[in-house]
Amino acid sequence: MKTIFITGGAGFIGSHVVRLFVNKYPDYNVVNLDVLTYAGNLENLTDIAHKSNYTFEKIDITDYEALKALFNKYLPDGVIHLAAESHVDRSITDPFVFVRTNVFGTCNLLHCAKELWKDNFAGKRFYHVSTDEVYGSLENDGTFFTEETKYQPHSPYSASKASSDHFVRAYHDTYGLPVVLSNCSNNYGSHHFPEKLIPLAINNIKNKKTVPVYGKGENVRDWLFVEDHVTAIDIIFHSGKDGETYNIGGNNEWKNIDLIRLLCSVMDRKLGRKDGMSAQLITFVIDRAGHDLRYAIDSSKLQNELGWKPSLQFEEGLEKTVEWYLANEKWVERVTSGEYQKYYEKQYNRR
Point out the catalytic residue in the list 34, 43, 133, 227.
133
Angle between helices 226-239 and 12-24 (to 10 degrees): 60
Task: Return the residue of 144, 223, 295, 340 that touches ligand DAU, per CB under 6 A.
Answer: 295
8 A C-beta contact, residue 10 and residue 40: yes
Using CB under 6 A, which residues numbered 116 to 145 contact ligand DAU? 131-133
Cα-trace Rg, the chain = 20
Q: Where are the alpha helices (DSSP H) in the chain?
A: 12-24, 64-74, 88-93, 95-98, 106-117, 156-175, 197-206, 226-239, 256-271, 300-306, 314-327, 329-337, 343-348
What part of residues 177-236 is at the interface with ligand DAU (CB under 6 A)?
185-186, 196-197, 200, 212-214, 219, 221
CA distance 12 to 266: 23
For residues 109 and 266, which CB has a smaller minimum distance to ligand NAD in the complex?
Answer: 109
**Three-state secondary structure readout of 64-97:** HHHHHHHHHHHCCCEEEECCCCCCHHHHHHCHHH
Q: Which of residues 178-197 bind ligand NAD (CB under 6 A)?
A: 184, 186-187, 193
**Among residues 38 and 121, whose Cβ is nearest to ligand NAD?**
38
Out of 231, 256, 299, 321, the residue judged to bind ligand DAU by CB under 6 A: 256
Residue 157 catalytic?
A: yes
Query: Residue of minimal CB distance from ligand DAU?
Result: 131
Burial 203-229 (b: 16+ CB within 10 A, else e): bbbbeeeebbbbeebbbbbbbbbbbbb
Q: Which stretch binds ligand NAD (CB under 6 A): 48-56, 58-66, 259-267, 324-332?
A: 58-66
Say whether residue 263 binds ligand DAU (CB under 6 A): no
By CB under 6 A, name the one of 58, 68, 169, 288 that touches ligand DAU. 288
* 132 belongs to the catalytic site: yes
Q: How many CB atoms lie within 10 A of CB 141?
A: 7
* Interface residues toward ligand DAU, by CB under 6 A: 86-88, 131-133, 185-186, 196-197, 200, 212-214, 219, 221, 256, 288, 295
* Interface residues toward ligand NAD, by CB under 6 A: 8, 10-14, 34-37, 39-40, 60-62, 82-86, 101, 105, 129-131, 161, 184, 186-187, 193
Residues assigned a catalytic role: 132-133, 157
